[in-house]
């Protein structure tokens, strides 16, 4: 889960970059940038939860 | 490699800039005192010793590789051409400041400012990882931050990189705007602090077996509050010098910058004091100090452009943000951050970045300083700021975490448990900060 979360953060960033490079309409850019940030946040949540679970496991 | 045209700067601006840069060490001193006061007595000397080491290592690492990779508009850089657009992604200068005439030119002033501000970025993780971070690891981690992570992101924002040119290339407002370093210094330092808190884990005795946090108060509130005042002076220098060097602000604009910096800090500390008074019955000095610094951090990005009322509003939000997120991270995310550095610098920095896009006049002033009210926004500035935040979360955080994870594999960064109980002072330095006093009681016996 930790690695998945860690990889999802740059994946979301690449979606943001792709929106800049490939899309011309501002509305489409906004949608894709929002989607990319959503993926980043999901990765961050997964990563944080993985750390929390690992900590509890150690205790 | 593609050199760009260097920004012009008058002699008055140069002289002013040198004076302003010489104020920046006060920000370092302020942050050092805050970190020191918020850590326990048993690690007080270690905290100050680590501060000196961090500032020293950061300056050397930045001298060796940092400025070469950060660059400055007008200096050479590596670029990629993507669908006909130039993406400048790394400075292509020489190591050891070679090729940078240290003669008061804008590039040399930027190099001087960065030598100091990279130390400021390095002090941020030190506060979050206090009492359990080995001195050797802290030096090595700072070298990675100052030599690789910081210059890479700073090139994108301040070195004429792709984030700064989002407006020119893709019509996103005026490109990513950050005059004083909410992103490059504060958020990068704050996200590195988050990585280290994840890697190191909490201090012994911070959480009981049920996972509930215990209060481990710092040893000197006076240091913390005095540090806040020192930080204000340093931040005025940092924001003003950054505005002149990286935002092209004329010398007279430093008045606006100083007013905005002070108002943002004032709003933040008042919000934090009022909220803690409401929640706990009395104002909390530690959280109010966190609020003050968070106000300074949030003011940095837009200080050269936003009107004073907006700065006050930014500060009020920053103060409220920090009071809730410090406790939330400690209780719900089990992040043991003695100095509140993640909330103050990472979240405060991100809030400051976004705030630039939330006040349209900010970008308007940047286009036409004397006709701010009539200027029309070319396209949403907030979009450029959001792309910057996405880069921080999507690139800087995983990158800095991976670097520190690798470092931790070869050089364990955490002090061993028994030595942590004795305190970092005894373990790392062989003597306490205040040898004539009883330095601690053993609060670990119950867990």
| Beta carbons of A9 and B397 less than 8 Å apart | yes
d(CA B340, CA B350): 15
Torsion angle in degrees (nearest 10) through CA of B122, B185, B118, B231: -80
| Beta carbons of A20 and B401 less than 8 Å apart | no
Average pLDDT of span B201-217: 88
Cβ(B359)–Cβ(B377) below 8 Å:
no
Considering only residues B45 and A53, tell me which one the structure prediction assigns the higher pLDDT.
B45
Residue B30's alpha-carbon distances to B61, B129, B225, B239, B405, in angstroms, are 22, 18, 9, 15, 29
The stretches in chain A having pLDDT less than 50 are: none
Q: Which residue blocks in B281-434 are alpha helix, DSSP H?
A: 285-302, 308-332, 341, 348-358, 360-367, 381-391, 397-410, 417-422, 424
- CA-based angle B335:B336:B339, to the nearest 5? 115
For B232-250, how does the pLDDT look when each residue is reduced to its tens digit (9 = 90+)? Answer: 999 999 999 999 999 989 9
Predicted local confidence at residue B231, as pLDDT:
98
CA closest to B166 among chain A residues? A20
How is chain B split into domains, by residue range? 11-429
Burial of residue B52 (number of CB atoms within 10 Å: 0-12, 13-18, 19+) = exposed
Predicted confidence band of residue B438 (pLDDT cuts 50, 70, 90): low
Is the Cα dihedral B255, B241, B265, B390 positive or negative?
positive
Predicted confidence band of residue B7 (pLDDT cuts 50, 70, 90): low
Whether B198 contacts chain A with CB within 8 A: yes
Across chain B, mean pLDDT equals 90
Average pLDDT of span B388-415: 96
Burial pattern B377-406, b for ≥16 Cβ within 10 A else e, equals eebbbbbbbbbbbbbbbbbbbbbbbebbee
Count residue pairs from A and B with Cβ separation < 8 A.
Answer: 68
Q: pLDDT at residue B439 above 60?
A: no
Q: pLDDT at residue B32 above 80?
A: yes
Q: pLDDT at residue B140 above 60?
A: yes
Q: Which residues of chain B neighbour A50 with C-beta distances below 8 Å?
A: none
Average pLDDT of span B78-88: 91
Cβ(A33)–Cβ(B383) below 8 Å:
yes
Predicted local confidence at residue B366, as pLDDT:
54
Average pLDDT of span B309-334: 95
In this complex, the residue of B379, B387, B390 whose CB is nearest that of residue A26 is B379
Average pLDDT of span B319-331: 95
Average pLDDT of span B57-80: 95
Predicted local confidence at residue A59, as pLDDT:
52
Mutate to test the interface with B, among A7, A18, A20 (most CBs of B within 10 A): A20
| Beta carbons of A10 and B333 less than 8 Å apart | no
d(CA B182, CA B426): 36
Q: Mark residue B208 as left, alpha or beta (left: phi above 0; alpha: psi -120 to 50; beta: remaining).
A: beta
In this complex, the residue of A14, A16, A26 whose CB is nearest that of residue B387 is A16
In this complex, the residue of A11, A40, A55 whose CB is nearest that of residue B201 is A55
Predicted local confidence at residue A35, as pLDDT:
97
Closest residue by Cα to residue B366 from B303, B300, B296, B297 = B303
Torsion angle in degrees (nearest 10) through CA of B361, B367, B369, B371: -70
Cβ(B366)–Cβ(B174) below 8 Å:
yes
A-facing residues of B in 152-181 (CB < 8 A) are 166, 170, 172
Q: Assess: ipTM above 0.90.
A: yes
| Beta carbons of B390 and A9 less than 8 Å apart | no
> What's the CATH superfamily of B11-429?
Ammonium transporter AmtB like domains (1.10.3430.10)
Predicted confidence band of residue B13 (pLDDT cuts 50, 70, 90): confident
Q: Residue B309's CB: how many other CB atoms inside 10 A?
A: 11
A-facing residues of B in 253-282 (CB < 8 A) are none
Q: Mark residue B325 as left, alpha or beta (left: phi above 0; alpha: psi -120 to 50; beta: remaining).
A: alpha
Q: pLDDT at residue B313 above 50?
A: yes
Q: Which residue blocks in B159-302 are alpha helix, DSSP H?
A: 166-170, 188-200, 221-246, 254-280, 285-302
Predicted confidence band of residue B11 (pLDDT cuts 50, 70, 90): confident
Predicted confidence band of residue B8 (pLDDT cuts 50, 70, 90): low
In this complex, the residue of A9, A51, A59 whose CB is nearest that of residue B394 is A9
DSSP secondary structure code for residue B445 in this structure = T
Tokens of B162: 């792709």
d(CA B328, CA B326): 6
CA closest to A22 among chain B residues? B83
Q: Which residues of chain B neighbour A12 with C-beta distances below 8 Å?
A: 390, 393-394
Mutate to test the interface with B, among A3, A16, A35 (most CBs of B within 10 A): A16
| Predicted TM-score (pTM) of this structure | 0.93
Is the Cα dihedral A37, B305, B287, B233 positive or negative?
positive
Q: pLDDT at residue B423 above 70?
A: yes
Average pLDDT of span B349-361: 89
Predicted confidence band of residue B119 (pLDDT cuts 50, 70, 90): very high
d(CA A35, CA A13): 10
Which phi and psi angles does B270 have, rounded to 5°? -70, -40
Q: pLDDT at residue B257 above 70?
A: yes
d(CA B87, CA B81): 6
Average pLDDT of span B405-427: 89
Burial of residue A7 (number of CB atoms within 10 Å: 0-12, 13-18, 19+) = middle
| Beta carbons of A52 and B333 less than 8 Å apart | yes
Closest residue by Cα to residue B339 from B45, B196, B126 = B126
Q: pLDDT at residue B380 above 90?
A: no
Tokens of A52: 């929390």
Considering only residues B18 and B436, tell me which one the structure prediction assigns the higher pLDDT.
B18
């Amino acid at each position: 889960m930790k690695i998945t979360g860690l990889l999802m953060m740059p994946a979301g960033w690449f979606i943001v970059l792709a929106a800049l490079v490939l899309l011309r309409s501002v509305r489409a850019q906004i949608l894709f940038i929002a989607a990319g940030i959503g993926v980043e946040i999901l990765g961050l949540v997964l990563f944080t939860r993985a750390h929390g679970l690992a900590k509890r496991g150690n205790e | 490699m593609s050199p760009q045209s260097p920004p012009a700067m008058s002699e008055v601006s140069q002289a002013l800039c040198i004076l302003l840069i010489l104020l920046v060490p006060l920000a370092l001193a302020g942050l050092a005192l805050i970190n020191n006061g918020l850590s326990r007595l048993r690690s007080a000397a270690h905290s100050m010793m680590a501060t000196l080491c961090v500032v020293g290592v950061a300056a050397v690492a930045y001298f060796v590789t940092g400025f070469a990779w950060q660059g400055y508009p007008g200096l050479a850089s590596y670029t990629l051409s993507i669908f006909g657009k130039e993406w400048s992604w790394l400075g292509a200068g020489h190591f050891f400041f070679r090729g940078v005439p240290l003669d008061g030119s804008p590039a040399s002033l930027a190099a001087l400012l960065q030598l100091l501000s990279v130390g400021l970025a390095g002090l941020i993780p030190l506060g979050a990882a206090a009492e359990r971070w080995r001195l050797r690891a802290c030096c090595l981690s700072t070298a990675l931050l100052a030599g690789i992570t910081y210059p890479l992101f700073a090139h994108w924002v301040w070195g004429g990189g792709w984030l700064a040119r989002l407006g020119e290339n893709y019509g996103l407002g005026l490109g990513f705007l950050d005059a004083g370093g909410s992103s490059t210094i504060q958020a990068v330092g704050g996200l590195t602090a988050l990585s280290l808190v994840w890697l190191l884990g909490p201090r012994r005795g911070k959480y009981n077996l049920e996972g509930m946090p215990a209060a481990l108060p710092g040893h000197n509130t006076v240091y913390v509050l005095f540090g806040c005042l020192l930080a204000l002076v340093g931040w005025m220098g940092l924001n003003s010098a950054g505005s002149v060097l990286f935002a092209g602000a004329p010398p007279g604009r430093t008045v606006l910058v100083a007013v905005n910096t002070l108002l943002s800090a004032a709003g933040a500390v008042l919000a934090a004091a009022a909220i803690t008074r409401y929640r706990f019955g009395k104002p909390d000095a530690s959280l109010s100090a966190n609020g003050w610094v968070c106000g300074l951090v949030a003011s940095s990005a837009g200080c050269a452009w936003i009107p004073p009322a907006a700065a006050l509003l930014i500060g009020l939000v920053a103060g409220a943000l920090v009071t809730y997120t410090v406790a939330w991270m400690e209780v719900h995310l089990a992040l043991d951050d003695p100095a509140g550095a993640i909330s103050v610098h990472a979240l405060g920095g991100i809030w400051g970045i976004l705030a630039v896009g939330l006040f349209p006049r900010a970008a308007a002033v940047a286009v036409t300083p004397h006709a701010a009210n009539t200027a029309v926004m070319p396209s949403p500035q907030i979009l450029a700021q959001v792309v910057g935040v996405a880069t921080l979360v999507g690139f800087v955080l995983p990158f800095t975490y991976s670097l520190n994870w690798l470092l931790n594999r070869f050089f364990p960064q955490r002090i061993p448990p028994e030595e942590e109980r004795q305190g970092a002072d005894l373990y790392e330095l062989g003597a306490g900060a205040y040898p004539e006093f009883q330095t601690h009681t053993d609060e670990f016996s119950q867990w």
